[in-house]
Amino acid sequence: MPKTSKKPIRSKLIKKLDVVFSQWVRLSNADHLGYCTCITCEKKFHWKEIQAGHFMSRKHYSTRWDENNVHPQCVSCNVYRAGEQYKYSVFLGQYQAEELYLKSQELVKYTNVELQEMINDYSERLENIT
């Protein structure tokens, strides 16, 4: 029986999308020298030394790749201070924070095709930045 071409494994598509989306978030928020400001402590870091922090956890697929839900955050705020969610909500404003919370409660399952389309979209956006 001949082998057919392999379909991309879902977990690999998600991981690739996470990487491309994170790079896009950080680079699109960087200045001309490549520095981003952490949205919660307001310190500056090079885009390679800062993270893409999520207001609503990445476990919620409905907001995982939502551009309003993800902004540059330093490792200290994002990891060691559990995302500084209160300060993050102040940055977002009450209306947007509530909208993201409600959206995060929706159940979403992206198809592999949709995941690949998002990878292609953010890869293209990255090319236009660099």
pLDDT at residue 130 tops 80:
no
What pLDDT score was predicted for residue 8? 72
Q: Give the chain's mean pLDDT.
A: 94
Give the confidence band of 92 by pLDDT, cuts at 50, 70, 90: very high
The residue extents of the domains of the chain are: 11-119
CB-side neighbour CA atoms (13 Å) of 69: 21
Predicted TM-score (pTM) of this structure: 0.91
Write the CB contacts of 8 (distance below 8 Å, at least 6 apart in sequence).
Answer: 112, 116
